[in-house]
Structure 1
Amino acid sequence: MSIANDIRTAFSRRDNALNQLLLINVLVFVGLVLIEAIMRLTGTYLEYYPNVIRQFQLPADLSSLLRHPWTLLTYAFTHEGFFHILFNLLNLYWFGALVREYLGDRRLVSLYILGALAGAAFFLLSFNLIPALRIYPNVSLLGASASVTAIIMAAATLLPEYTFNLLLIGPVRIKYIAAVVILLSIIAINQGNPGGGIAHIGGALIGFLFIKQLQAGRDLGRPVQAVGEFVGGLLSGRPRLRVTHRNTAAPAAAAPVKKGTLPKPEQDEIDVILDKISRSGYESLSKDEKQKLFRASQK
């Protein structure tokens, strides 16, 4: 099977959101690398490449943003530099798998998009309202870091006692990893990368709020999901039709419901599973317990 068919298969599956996010980032990176190589070989790099990358990066200048509004999202799928994309995608894979397992594909994508928008909002507001940041001319933002930080913070808020085995360090609870990520973001503000650090903090905040609101019964990702379904319907060419049926037959008598035949609410069982997570960590759950948590999160 060709690479093109592999990519087409990856995007045709509905339960493949994490791999799709990873793949989009890789495809954009590879595309820009090829364009840059061609322009360098043809001697047109200095003339044309800045305009190419301008179509992807988020500018701090509002007038430039008005001419390139799509960069509010494209910046979060664009990287320059191998190690930049490597670390972002490794974190997206590790923490995204955890969020996806518990919350599902749609909420993972929603969190990624909301993280990108929150990072963009913090970046734009800071560089346009804080006088001290105006010393940086022509500032722009690139990379999935805000989205990835949102996913890391969401995972830490959702399962703070979950443990990762880090190379050369050993087992570390996810809540401490999130704390280090926030600390590094603050350090970045002080050491010459204020745009990136501020965007990370915006992503972290939306990741925390996303889980807290979800636990309160409110899904902040519903607008993102609605827009995604609308765009998907347009691209597929299959408009959503509302079909009604008229039943001319006489309605059948409803069967009587006997006391005690309704399914017992699962909340008590879910509480037991959550207590187990707080005591032993998420990794201690069985596959059946994880599936019950996932089903409960869909209600």
Structure 2
Amino acid sequence: MNLFGQSFFANIPPVVKNLLIINVLFFIATLVFGNMGIRLENILGAFYFNSPYFRVWQPITYMFMHGGWAHIFFNMFALYMFGPAIEYYMGSKRFFNYYFITGLGALALQMLVQAIEVHGILGSYILDTSIQYNISPANAEKLRDIYAAPMVGASGALFGVLVAFGVLYAETELYIMLIPIPIKAKYAVIGYIVVELYLGLSQHQGDSVAHFAHLGGALFGYILLRAWGMHRTNDF
């Protein structure tokens, strides 16, 4: 057997493999069209439902868009590391459904939080351009972020994958960067979620990460695992 001739994708199950390929193709397309002056993230990224930039395809396409090299690298690395174990456990069809449902759930929670923020500023969940609002510069900036900044990335769906790994392979020990001792998957995932919740609630200035999308992916992932009756396994 020619080990050196073996394909990089040889041991990757089909859904994870195709997700990796599609994400990379979308990223390449973003770079190519960006050089032509066309910002694909403004077409395929997900905008707030009341934004004039919102389109019906965005809840799906946003999962394949990424904001830079580091963004896509770490997301695809996480998918490559944890996705195969979950796909082998669930089967390809169910994993496909799980991935996209958690991605949609991520966007749903993010939009819910945005709607609450919009209501807190305007007293309504939608911006009526026929009304003259009297709001502070800080709130005006918040509204611009909500209405004009697209959400991109596979992170929401990947938080669903991480939660699945933390539940199904709870006792597996992981080595986390900058932490010198191994940590069981269940504790690592819980810790990560707690950090995301803190960052989402604290809303540090300049933080453009959609933390509640991450939490939405994790929440919908956990709900699906419970609904499908999936439990811990020791096979890892």
Q: Between Structure 1 and Structure 2, whose CA radius of gyration is higher? A: 1
Report the Cα distance in structure 2 between the residues aligned to 1:68 and 1:114, rounded to whole angstroms: 19
* Structure-to-structure mapping, 1:98-247, within 5 angstroms: 98-130=85-117, 131=119, 135=139, 136=142, 137=144, 138-166=148-176, 169-189=180-200, 190-192=203-205, 193=207, 196-215=210-229
Of 72-81 and 158-167, the range deviating more from structure 2: 158-167
Structure 2 partner of 1:97: 84
Report the Cα distance in structure 2 between the residues aligned to 1:155 and 1:185, rounded to whole angstroms: 17
Aligned length: 199
Structure 1 partner of 2:129: none
Structure 2 partner of 1:25: 23
Query: Is contact 1:188-1:196 (8 Å) kept?
Result: no
Structure 2 partner of 1:64: 52
Deviation at 1:19, TM superposition (A): 0.6
Query: Cα RMSD (Å) of the superposition?
Result: 2.6
Deviation at 1:53, TM superposition (A): 2.3
Of 127-136 and 25-34, the range deviating more from structure 2: 127-136
Q: 1:80 to 1:208 in 2, by over 3 A?
A: same
Query: Is contact 1:149-1:181 (8 Å) kept?
Result: no
Of 125-134 and 206-215, the range deviating more from structure 2: 125-134
TM-score between the two structures when normalised by the length of structure 2 = 0.75
Structure 1 partner of 2:133: none
Letter in 1 for 2:158: V
Higher helix share: 1
Report the Cα distance in structure 2 between the residues aligned to 1:18 and 1:203, rounded to whole angstroms: 17
Letter in 2 for 1:106: K
Deviation at 1:154, TM superposition (A): 1.5
Name which structure has the greater RCO, CA cutoff 8 Å, separation 6+.
2
Letter in 1 for 2:28: V
1:88 to 71, 75, 79: 75
Report the Cα distance in structure 2 between the residues aligned to 1:64 and 1:106, rounded to whole angstroms: 35
Query: Is contact 2:155-2:214 (8 Å) kept?
Result: yes
Letter in 2 for 1:22: L
Deviation at 1:157, TM superposition (A): 1.8
Give the gaps of 5 or more residues in structure 2.
1-8, 123-138
State whether structure 2 residue 87 is matched by structure 1 residue 73: no
Report the Cα distance in structure 1 between the residues aligned to 2:56 and 2:216, rounded to whole angstroms: 19
Report the Cα distance in structure 2 between the residues aligned to 1:90 and 1:177, rounded to whole angstroms: 17
Report the Cα distance in structure 1 between the residues aligned to 2:157 and 2:199, rounded to whole angstroms: 17
Q: 1:55 to 1:156 in 2, by over 3 A?
A: same
TM-score between the two structures when normalised by the length of structure 1 = 0.60
Query: Is contact 1:22-1:89 (8 Å) kept?
Result: yes
Deviation at 1:166, TM superposition (A): 4.0
Q: CA offsets, 1:50-99, max 9 Å, x none? A: 4x32211111142436x511001111110011011111111111111110
2:44 partner SS: coil
Structure 2 partner of 1:251: none
1:215 partner SS: coil
Q: 1:160 to 1:132 in 2, by over 3 A?
A: farther
